[in-house]
């Protein structure tokens, strides 16, 4: 299967790159390319199988396997982008150790995914055999790499260049294949999101730039008398924890930093049931957030000032195990991301069992919150900056560069359809986005970005 060949080639490139960096201190070589031209017919095969793969994914309801394959493909594309970014940065010496570490982690996870894919495919005997053969080959290659010497480094460098060329071409071919069908559903009466305009509000908070992590917003289902209120939660301890929520009676009060009203969740910070991680939301006069050092959803009722909890499924990531990231860095302790839409509160998270791919669960109200519908997506959490939800469709953004963020992914919780071809870009005021949420009552995105409180308008279109 050509697509798998392609995947393996990608994996090969990464190993070679890692090896290259390991040796860059004591070896430098000038190489001229003496390779044969790239085999075009192989590319045609890859294109063919990519098209077939797409058709399969389109025609049927997403099977586990197809979702894995789609996720894998996206991650390989992402990996390639990351590698290219590293290459551009490279001044002929070492790659950034941090970036390499992230690639290494990525690679380990991709290998895990491939293993899972291999297992899923075991019923398909012919494919299995082919995969097996490729894997044995890669294993042999790995063993050889382990025993590398200076000569082999030179060879792998050369091979690396060739692989990169072919990858670039594969990439073009893949991009040239027909994209999946329109999956941005029109489940909203106002249509589907087509643009993000703004910033509309852009302000530093009362805390100045002291706290780079935090969140803010406006309750979409405010209790009577609090319709115009805004809330703000800087993570005041280690960029990770908070133990109170600050409220303002209007946006101008928040901007001016006057007459804040603080409600304490606990006197300590952190302690049992205080806030861990920035992606907090307020809904129905209750705060939803990740509980301190506990794999649970916490709900703090601002009226009764009582915390109630709902356990996440076993092995869900907390304590910075599965954060949101981009190539350069991760957003610490972003394991749980609470989002609000027209129907209420949801939580996005992941687990090792789902290979670090996002899982989304509805948080159901009640005396004690419970987790309702739960769905697995193929979106690798590490490749996204944040998520938000509009009319039952989960959207994810990714870091493009310091100035630009892009909504690139959607998952329809009603149909299970996913799309990676959204390209809704918006202008950032600061490099990082620590939290981001959609408010269904005013159609705005509330963003906390390097200590600044920012809003954007989402523009909808009926098609
Ligand atoms: C892939 O599956 C086959 C068949 O079960 C197995 O023999 C092989 O070891 C698997 N490969 C890996 C790398 O897990
Ligand atoms: C995979 O390769 C190993 C080693 O050659 C072999 O023993 C095994 O039977 C192969 N499995 C399949 C499914 O072809
Ligand atoms: C995604 O792909 C579909 C199907 O080709 C297309 O109709 C839609 O416009 C694409 N979306 C974007 C944002 O490019
Ligand atoms: C919060 O507590 C008040 C008073 O006990 C109760 O009426 C309200 O329903 C609670 N809100 C939530 C979201 O549980």
Residues 437 and 324: their CA atoms lie apart, in Å, by 14
To test the ligand 4 pocket, which listed residue (304, 305, 344) has its Cβ within 8 A of the most ligand atoms? Answer: 304
pLDDT at residue 51, as a whole number: 46
What interhelical angle do 40-59 and 64-89 show, nearest 10?
140
Host domain of residue 358: 188-461
| Ligand closest in space to the Cα of 407 | 3
Would 77 be classed as within a structural domain?
A: no
To test the ligand 1 pocket, which listed residue (110, 118, 127) has its Cβ within 8 A of the most ligand atoms? Answer: 118
Would 251 be classed as within a structural domain?
A: yes
| Ligand closest in space to the Cα of 344 | 4
3 state SS for 247-261: EECCHHHHHHCCCCE
Residues 208 and 377: their CA atoms lie apart, in Å, by 37
Which ligand 2 atom minimizes the distance to the CA of 129?
A: 14
Angle, vertex CA 176, rays to CA 170 and CA 179, nearest 5: 120
Residues 127 and 42: their CA atoms lie apart, in Å, by 17
pLDDT at residue 140, as a whole number: 60
Which ligand 1 atom minimizes the distance to the CA of 139?
A: 13
pLDDT at residue 111, as a whole number: 78
**CATH number assigned to the domain comprising residue 275:** 2.120.10
Nearest CA to 286 out of 245, 239, 242, 227 is that of 245
Residues 10 and 167: their CA atoms lie apart, in Å, by 7
Distance from residue 84's CA to the centre of ligand 3 (Å): 25
Would 222 be classed as within a structural domain?
A: yes
132 lines ligand 2 (CB under 6 A): yes
Q: What is the DSSP string of 322-376?
A: S-EE-SS-EETT-S-EEEEETTEEEEEE-BTTTTTEEEEEEEE-SSS-EEEEEEE
139 lines ligand 1 (CB under 6 A): no
Distance from residue 181's CA to the centre of ligand 3 (Å): 7
pLDDT at residue 326, as a whole number: 86
200 lines ligand 2 (CB under 6 A): no
* Atom 8, ligand 3: residue with shortest CA distance: 182
Would 45 be classed as within a structural domain?
A: no
Which ligand 2 atom minimizes the distance to the CA of 128?
A: 13
Residues 335 and 320: their CA atoms lie apart, in Å, by 6
115 lines ligand 1 (CB under 6 A): yes
Would 75 be classed as within a structural domain?
A: no
Residues 405 and 419: their CA atoms lie apart, in Å, by 17
Q: pTM for this one?
A: 0.66
* Atom 5, ligand 1: residue with shortest CA distance: 122
Give the 3-state secondary structure percentages of the chain, helix then strand then coil, rounded to 5.
35, 30, 35
Would 137 be classed as within a structural domain?
A: no
Residue 394: beta bridge partners? 389, 411
Q: Is the peptide bond before 199 cis (omega within 30 degrees of 0)?
A: yes
In this structure, are residues 153 and 31 in contact, taking their beta carbons and an 8 Å threshold?
A: no
**Cβ-based neighbours of 342, under 8 Å, separated by 6 or more:** 188, 390, 391, 392, 440
pLDDT at residue 72, as a whole number: 76
Distance from residue 129's CA to the centre of ligand 1 (Å): 9
To test the ligand 4 pocket, which listed residue (223, 303, 306) has its Cβ within 8 A of the most ligand atoms? Answer: 303
Distance from residue 58's CA to the centre of ligand 3 (Å): 13
Strand 357-364: give its sheet, edge to edge. Answer: 337-341, 344-349, 357-364, 370-380
Strand 230-234: give its sheet, edge to edge. Answer: 214-217, 230-234, 244-248, 261-264
Which residues in the chain land under pLDDT 50?
A: 1-4, 13-47, 49-51, 53-62, 92-94, 123, 125, 142, 145-146, 148-154, 177-184
Q: What is the tally of structural domains in the chain?
A: 1
Residues 391 and 185: their CA atoms lie apart, in Å, by 9
The DSSP code for 316 is B
Which ligand 1 atom minimizes the distance to the CA of 121?
A: 2
* Atom 8, ligand 1: residue with shortest CA distance: 132
129 lines ligand 2 (CB under 6 A): yes
Ligand 4 environment, Cβ below 6 A: 284, 286, 301, 303-304, 365
pLDDT at residue 160, as a whole number: 62
| Ligand closest in space to the Cα of 113 | 1
Which ligand 3 atom minimizes the distance to the CA of 422?
A: 13
Which ligand 4 atom minimizes the distance to the CA of 285?
A: 13
Distance from residue 122's CA to the centre of ligand 1 (Å): 8
Would 100 be classed as within a structural domain?
A: no
Both structure tokens of 260: 């804040």
* Atom 14, ligand 2: residue with shortest CA distance: 129
Distance from residue 22's CA to the centre of ligand 2 (Å): 32
Q: What is the DSSP string of 187-247?
A: -STT-EEEEEEEEEEEEEBTTBTS-SSEEEE--SSPPTT-TT-EEEEE-TBTTTEE-EEEE
pLDDT at residue 301, as a whole number: 98
pLDDT at residue 97, as a whole number: 54
Would 360 be classed as within a structural domain?
A: yes
Coil, strand, or helix at residue 182? coil
Element (H, E) at 164: helix 150-176
pLDDT at residue 187, as a whole number: 72
């Amino acid at each position: 299967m050509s697509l798998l060949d392609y995947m393996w080639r990608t994996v090969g490139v990464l190993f070679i790159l890692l090896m290259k960096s390991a040796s860059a201190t004591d070896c430098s070589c000038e190489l001229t390319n003496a390779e044969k031209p790239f085999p075009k017919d192989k590319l045609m095969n890859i294109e063919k199988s990519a098209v077939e793969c797409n058709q399969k994914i389109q025609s049927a309801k997403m099977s586990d396997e197809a979702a894995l394959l789609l996720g894998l493909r996206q991650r390989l594309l992402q990996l390639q982008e990351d590698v290219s970014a590293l290459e551009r940065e490279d001044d002929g010496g070492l790659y950034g150790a941090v970036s390499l570490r992230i690639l290494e982690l990525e690679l380990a996870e991709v290998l895990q995914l491939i293993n899972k894919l291999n297992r899923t495919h075991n019923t398909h005997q012919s494919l299995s055999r082919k995969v097996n053969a490729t894997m044995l080959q890669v294993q042999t290659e790995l063993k050889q790499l382990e025993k590398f010497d200076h000569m082999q480094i030179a060879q792998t460098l050369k091979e690396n260049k060739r692989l990169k060329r072919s990858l670039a071409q594969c990439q073009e071919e893949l991009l040239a294949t027909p994209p999946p069908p329109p999956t941005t559903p029109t489940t909203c009466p106002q249509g589907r999101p087509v643009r993000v305009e703004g910033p509309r509000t852009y302000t530093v908070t009362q805390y100045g730039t002291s706290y780079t992590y935090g969140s803010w917003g406006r309750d979409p289902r405010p209790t009577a008398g609090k319709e115009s209120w805004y809330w703000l939660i800087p993570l005041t301890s280690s960029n990770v924890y908070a133990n109170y929520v600050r409220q303002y009676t209007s946006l101008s009060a928040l901007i001016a930093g006057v007459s804040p009203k603080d409600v304490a969740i606990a006197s300590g910070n952190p302690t049992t049931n205080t806030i861990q991680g920035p992606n907090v939301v307020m809904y129905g006069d209750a705060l939803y957030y990740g509980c301190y050092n506990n794999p649970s959803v916490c709900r703090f009722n601002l009226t009764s000032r009582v915390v109630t909890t709902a356990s996440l499924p076993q092995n869900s990531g907390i304590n910075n195990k599965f954060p949101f990231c981009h190539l350069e860095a991760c957003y610490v302790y972003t394991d749980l991301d609470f989002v609000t839409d027209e129907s209420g509160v949801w939580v996005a998270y992941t687990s090792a069992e789902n290979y670090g791919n996002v899982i989304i669960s509805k948080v159901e109200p009640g005396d004690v919150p419970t987790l309702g519908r739960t769905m697995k997506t193929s979106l690798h959490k590490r490749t996204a900056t944040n998520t938000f939800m509009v009319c039952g469709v989960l959207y994810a953004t990714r870091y493009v560069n310091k100035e630009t963020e892009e909504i690139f992914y959607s998952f329809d919780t009603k149909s299970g359809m996913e799309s990676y071809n959204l390209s809704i870009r918006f202008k950032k005021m600061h490099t990082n986005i620590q939290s981001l949420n959609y408010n269904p009552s005013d159609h705005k995105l509330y963003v906390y970005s390097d200590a600044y409180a920012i809003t954007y308008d989402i523009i909808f279109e009926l098609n």
